Amino acid sequence: MKTAPDPTSTWTTRTSNISSTSTDVRYFDSTWIICGSSEGSTSADAITWANISGSLPASIRALAYGSGYFIISGGAIPWYSQVASGTYTATTPTPFSTNCEGMCYGNTYFIAVCLTGNLYKSSVTPASPPTWTSRTSSFGTTNLTAVADGSDGYWVAVGYSGKLASASDPTGTWTQRTSSFSTTNIADVYHDGTYWVAVGRTGKLATATDPTGTWTQRTSSFSTTNISKCHYGSDGYWVAVAATGKLATATDPTGTWTQRTSSFGTDTIYASWYDGSTYWVATADSKIATATDPTGTWTQRSNPFSDLVRDVHYADGIWVAVGHSGEIGTATDPTSTWTLRTNPLSGVGSGRITQVFYGNGIWIASTDVGGNMAYATDPTGTWTIFTDILASGTGLYYGIDNYWVTCGNTGELATGE
């Protein structure tokens, strides 16, 4: 197989681990999947690939993803899994009378086209919100700020006073590690498939290849400005955002971080995300900006938010941003219309929605005061409050091991399935 950052540029040969003729390749939910006649492989960056373990169907012809399910279809039987690299189960009874040659998902339906002109439609039962279980975080009463899952099999949680912990199973033991932040608050952490990056106050930024080992401080180019968040996109760029409108990019997080013109003036930038193909989006006080190249022009976009836009996320074909005034906004094209959606968090407690994430077929938004959460299978439709056991929500993530993890103040951490 070959990859290219731009289809007009040089195509580079990669090892996909597929030994037979490749029959389909797709990018779903931040994961690349390639299949052969009866085998599959996944990758976060399209460069390093790992085989899907376990049985897969013979004569694979079609890949699809929707409502939290990855589908690999071979012959007349689609196989499904909620984790791209996980265990796939054959659908029973056999739904097709002839071999499936193509499949796609949209508007709550999977559509399959098969030989001899047959076409099939299958609705998906809406996903339900997770049931939360409190876990011992090892942070004591120290506030946690963020949590993330990596393709290396580790979860990492970060918080105040330079604390950082890792776990191979988020429901088990979280072990404190030496973060190299001393007592400086850590704000965020993310993994790109090779490097872990943690960012925090006073411009500190550290990297690690193994989160249980050495975390090395790097020159971030933020001086003493507080860094809010960091994110890695499949276009090969890291983006870190901070107070006073600062935004920096890097292709190698251990090397040079270059300050860019963000278009946010002196406003604090709270979050950034990449859609996997075209747009980066960053958010601040009532502001949303987009870029196709994060090293180039960031353009301010019209939006309906009245207060701080604290987080933004993209999945399943739609952008979702959340704000301090209990506002949830969506857009299919981030450069065009953003629409506020009615949601129950706008009138509950402080209404300060600070986190939004997608996984397993549902969107979850959470507040940082009162521990309130709401979920939706369609973010443009109905949002429903559900039980959250934390007093506050500061971090939220859905991992490749099919766990939700949320964290909060005073050492709170919970997992959900």
Find the CATH number of the domain harbouring 91: 2.120.10.30
CA dist 343 and 345 (Å) reads 6
Give me the domain span that covers residue 273: 132-416
- In degrees, to the nearest 5, what angle opens at C-alpha 316 toward C-alphas 311 and 317? 85
333 and 232 housed in the same domain: yes
186 and 108 housed in the same domain: no
Where among 123, 157, 191 does a domain terminate?
Answer: 123
CATH number of the domain where residue 150 is located: 2.130.10.10
267 and 398 housed in the same domain: yes
**pTM given for the model:** 0.77
Provide the residue type at 297 as one letter: T
CA dist 160 and 183 (Å) reads 7
88 and 207 housed in the same domain: no
182 and 262 housed in the same domain: yes
Nearest to 286 by CA among 338, 350, 355: 338
The answer to whether 373 and 81 are in contact (CB under 8 A) is no
101 and 192 housed in the same domain: no
CA dist 220 and 202 (Å) reads 10
- In the chain the first and final C-alpha atoms are separated, in Å, by 35
Token pair for residue 7?
A: 């289809």
Where among 123, 153, 183 does a domain terminate?
Answer: 123
- The residues of the chain scoring below 50 in pLDDT are none
167 and 267 housed in the same domain: yes
Name residues whose C-beta falls within 8 Å of residue 125's C-beta, 6 or more positions apart in sequence.
none
298 and 166 housed in the same domain: yes
Q: DSSP labels for 71-84?
A: EEEETTEEEEESST
210 and 141 housed in the same domain: yes
Residue-level pLDDT at 126: 57
Residue-level pLDDT at 115: 87
Domain count, the chain: 2
107 and 136 housed in the same domain: no
Where among 91, 123, 155 does a domain terminate?
Answer: 123
Residue-level pLDDT at 175: 98
138 and 80 housed in the same domain: no
105 and 194 housed in the same domain: no
Order of strands across the sheet with 100-106?
A: 100-106, 109-114, 119-123
Burial class for 133, CB neighbours closer than 10 Å (0-12, 13-18, 19+): exposed
CA dist 222 and 67 (Å) reads 39
